[in-house]
Amino acid sequence: MEKKILDVVLVPTGLVIMIAYHLWLLYQIVKHPTKTVIGVNSINRRLWVQAMMEDVSKNGVLAVQSLRNNIMASTLLASTAIMLSSLIAVLMSSRNEERGVVAVVFGDRTELVLSIKFFAILVCFLLAFLLNVQSIRYYSHASILINVPFKKLSSNLRQQKLTAEYVANTVNRGSYFWSLGLRAFYFSFPLFMWIFGPIPMVLSCFALVFLLYFLDAAFECGWATIGVDDHDDFDEGEVHKQHYVDIELEEPIKN
């Protein structure tokens, strides 16, 4: 009975830690994007798209090659996820191997709990596969849209900015899905450790959150990346709302 209590207490604790961290990260991305790596990268991707679309004849090949590299990275993760999903499905169907694993578990050793563990890992990898497929979808659309000669098609400055903004949104969505797919891989690690018991699982949650914080937090000030000189007069939320599209790329960055 005591071993079952460990699963009931420690496993939800580890999940709450992971969910709470990502809710905090989401809040930071929405409200203070320049304090996170994801937010800073999103801002710079918009400026990159605008720069690529300034002269399609010169930058078109570079833009398509860059997006193709992203597509290849998403394809690799998607292929890995579906392969691991197949492997987990094989393990779930092999009862002999399951009993061998149960023997080293300190916690609930029932066959139902072990099936839940493998099923959770399977769902995690399937989710990673679907997210990376969506990433490939958006990057594929962006590889065509980024070569649209919007300056030649329209002399309306507002329409040109809206076109560049739409393409930037498409590129960013592809990147967001790729990041979520990668998060699903990260999340699978504590679930895998759960096979060996709730104690390794909750410890891996603490360690993973600690490492992710250093990967997600932008410790270096990101104002220079968007040409902002005065922190006090700068509204980070407005940047995330895409009002920074009016920033001129040729504007010199002051130290």
Could you read off the pLDDT of 72-106 as tens digits, one per residue? 999 998 988 888 888 887 777 665 444 444 444 56
Under 8 Å between Cβ of 25 and 36: yes
pLDDT band, very low/low/confident/very high, at 180 (cuts 50, 70, 90): very high
pLDDT band, very low/low/confident/very high, at 234 (cuts 50, 70, 90): very low
Instruction: Write the DSSP symbol of residue 251.
Output: S
pTM: 0.77
Instruction: Determine the length of the chain.
Output: 255
| Residues facing 210 on adjacent strands | none
From the number of C-beta atoms within 10 Å of its C-beta (0-12, 13-18, 19+), residue 46 rates as buried
Q: What is the pLDDT of residues 131-159, one digit of tens each?
A: 999 999 999 999 888 887 766 665 666 66
Say how far apart CA 201 and CA 111 lie, in whole Å.
Answer: 18
Tokens of 14: 């580890």
pLDDT for 113:
80
pLDDT for 158:
61
Under 8 Å between Cβ of 47 and 235: no
Token pair 């604790």 in the structure block, residue: 13
Average pLDDT over residues 8-36: 91
Under 8 Å between Cβ of 60 and 147: yes
Say how far apart CA 164 and CA 54 lie, in whole Å.
Answer: 9
Under 8 Å between Cβ of 10 and 202: yes
